[in-house]
Structure 1
């Protein structure tokens, strides 16, 4: 079991309040990801769950047991850090088993757990090596293996892929997804990368300035953002926001439309404009337009499209995909 309940969690450093009353329930076996811009409080919240930071107020319960005053080692959690945190003089095998050894776990049990974790992570050929002999991706897998052998109630990941290059991030992301399915474990994961959040999470928690903006599944946040902050944060390229008065829309302050929900034509359409920059990515073509009606507009087209800077074009939004927001930035349903 690995459920988690947070009630009114606040954290302040002096007069600066970093977490502003966080309420969250994580079910056993869920993969929950905290996302938000730098400084939003996501890593502080994770460290507070782990017990590495003390909450100023509020309660933390794991499997229904209050742990706010319980030391980290007694909370039944295992944490994977961005920096790997491996001992350079120990082998892979000894790094993975060290925590169990320090806890007094019998040697044969340590051997069994390390063997199981190394098999899951394809680390068997590297057990006798030291961290300096490994790639960045292999070191991160050792750090994950060290967490697995503890058989925790909760796995906590603090931006574990940010030190890896693009190809390794994709590979390790797939391994973490596979591990979650295999272990059926509860995982809480912090990232600033929305692609990681959208592809890994059962549930995403969007944080901003220490407060929760919205909680939901990836597609709930994509299709039904609660406000302009979530709408702009989830989705790449970012949603276009247009002054509603420029479109003759009544009852709304702003209109949002995602770049992928705009069609383009050279002949006719709703908004006439000029291409000011084109990004040809192969699988996608991203165009930046200046239109008479909307101002700057981003359009995402599937595949290679032969538009170039200074082309005159017509953009037409999918009306069913428009998002409407009030003067406070809240979605109008």
Structure 2
């Protein structure tokens, strides 16, 4: 079991409040991702769960039991860091089994656990190598394997893919998702990359300046954000925001996803000029400068040709628009 509960958790460094009253419930077996911009408090919150930072006030509980005062080693938590933190003089096998050895497990138990983890991570041929003989992706898999052998109640990942190149990030992300399905364990994952959040999570916690902006399933946050912060942060390219008064609408602000904004060279609702075109193969992104609404992004599927500086007309899909008040809160009709 590995259900996590945070109740009015705060963290202050001197007079600076970093975490400002977070309430959260993560169910047993859930994959929960903390996402937000740099400085929002997501890594600090993870370190508080791990016991690497003290809780200023509030309660952290696993399976209903308060763990605020427990040392990190007694929390039954395994953490995978951005840096691999492997011992350079130890082999892969010894790095993975070190925590079990320190806990007094027998050689047979250590061998069984490390061999099982190695099989899950395709590390078998590498078990007698040292970290210097491994690629970055292989080292990260060893770090993940070291966490697996401990069979913790919670797996905590602190931006584990940041040091990998683009192709390895995708491959390792798929590997982590597969491991979650196989292990059925509770995982909490910190990232600033909303694509990682969308593709991995059962539940996303969007943090903004130490507070929870919204919690929900990935597509719920994408399609039904509570505020302009979540609407703008979740989705790539990000949502367009229009001054809806210029369109004769009642709300202060109108949000529309790039794929729900039509573009035409003949007629439409908003006049603009093509500022830039990105041809990505499977899709085309057109950036149009407009009066009153600024730079708007249009996503088109497939290949399309638009000349820079050409006049265009944009029309939002009225059925897919979202309405916000002047403070950025969603208006629901």
TM-score by length of 2: 0.98
- Whole-angstrom CA distance in 1 between matches of 2:290 and 2:14: 48
- Measure how far apart 1:294 and its partner are: 2.9
1:248 and 2:251 matched: no
Aligned to 2:257: 258
CA contact (8 A) 2:243 2:292 kept: no
Structure 2 runs not aligned, ≥5 long: none
Structure 1 runs not aligned, ≥5 long: none
Aligned to 2:79: 79
CA contact (8 A) 2:240 2:257 kept: yes
Aligned to 1:166: 166
- Measure how far apart 1:292 and its partner are: 4.0
Counterpart secondary structure, 1:6: strand
124-133 vs 294-303, greater mean Cα deviation: 294-303
CA contact (8 A) 1:3 1:26 kept: yes
CA contact (8 A) 1:253 1:325 kept: yes
CA contact (8 A) 1:283 1:303 kept: yes
- Whole-angstrom CA distance in 1 between matches of 2:231 and 2:63: 33
- Whole-angstrom CA distance in 1 between matches of 2:295 and 2:196: 28
What RMSD in Å do the two structures reach over aligned CA positions? 0.9
What pairs with 1:1-333 in structure 2 (closer than 5 Å)? 1-250=1-250, 252-292=251-291, 294-333=293-332
297-306 vs 17-26, greater mean Cα deviation: 297-306
Q: Which runs of 4+ in 1 moved over 2 A?
A: 291-295
- Measure how far apart 1:318 and its partner are: 1.0
116-125 vs 234-243, greater mean Cα deviation: 234-243
Aligned residue pairs, count: 332
- Whole-angstrom CA distance in 1 between matches of 2:171 and 2:231: 28
TM-score by length of 1: 0.98
